[in-house]
Chains A and B, each alone.
Chain A
Amino acid sequence: MALILFYVFAFLIVGSALLLVFMKNLLHAAFMLLITLLSLAAVYVLLFADFLAVTQLMVYVGGILVLILFGIMLSNRGDTIFIRSESSNGIAGGMLSFLLLGGLVYVITRTHFMQLPWLRHSETIASTGVKSTLHGIGINLMTNFALPFEVASFILLIALMGAAFISSQAK
């Protein structure tokens, strides 16, 4: 059951991401990005990452996507009916990403990840019967990752101040 759901959402992710690239209208591309992010949140739920799924919904769908929509609307000239997103270097870019995909698929299929010692002898989150990963993430953030957590909050503060400064500076 989980496997079927995974393939459905994987199809949605790849399909909507491809449509994002080939859409002519930039607003439609943003909505395709919305479908990609929502399907990714569903895949996170299937991977027993409930807190990450909720964070994905709040930060990406609620924050970054709205920011991108603002960016699209504030940066069009207003003389066109819809905001075009033309593409260039189609053949070279397609070749590049296709070769990259081929190389990655070759590496992934040739490397037997499940034969790694720490993966072979480990049990998954599912088999331990943990109800929620929220407790573990909270413990981790306050013990092993306390310094990265503080640095991340500092980076976020500096980035928001910098964004406000850049966009409000008089020319």
Chain B
Amino acid sequence: MASIPLEHLLLLSAALFCIGVLAIVTKRHAVAVLMGIELIFNAANLNLIAFSQHDPNLLQGQVFALFVIIIAAAEAAIALAIILKVYQYFNTVNVNEVDTSRG
């Protein structure tokens, strides 16, 4: 079975990363920005797993990708708690209108 070329995986990961950056930069809804961050986490994971494919005994890339998933879960929980709090306070989640961080 022919294995997937490493360069193609890296190009796919680069494309996913740039789409995530595009979502973060252009979107105005805070949850959409969070989706862009998730895309970037997934691009990093794809890179780690692509290199881990050539590391048969140690699997260090896959273990590190597991940690990235854990951090992504923690980040999503915190970010959504903050988004709900911001919505209670400002009555909007548009990141262009939320311009103060005073409590």
Contact = CB atoms under 8 A, between A and B. Distances in A.
A17 B22 CA distance: 10
Describe B's contact surface by its main secondary structure: helix
Interface residues of B, number: 75
Given A40-B46, A68-B35, A87-B27, A75 B14 contact: no
A127 B60 CA distance: 18
Contact of B66 (A48, A52, A162): A52
Interface in A73-92: 74-75, 77, 83-90, 92
Interface of A: 1-3, 6, 10, 13-14, 17-18, 20-21, 26, 29-30, 33, 36-37, 40, 43-44, 46-49, 51-52, 55-56, 59-60, 63-64, 67-68, 70-72, 74-75, 77, 83-90, 92-94, 96-98, 100-101, 104-105, 108-109, 113-114, 118-119, 122-128, 130, 133, 136-137, 140-141, 144-145, 148, 152, 155-156, 159-160, 162-164, 166-167, 169, 171
23 contacts: A14-B16, A14-B19, A17-B16, A21-B26, A26-B29, A33-B35, A36-B42, A37-B42, A47-B9, A47-B49, A47-B50, A47-B53, A56-B45, A60-B42, A60-B72, A67-B80, A87-B27, A88-B26, A93-B21, A93-B22, A119-B54, A159-B77, A171-B88
A63 B66 contact: no
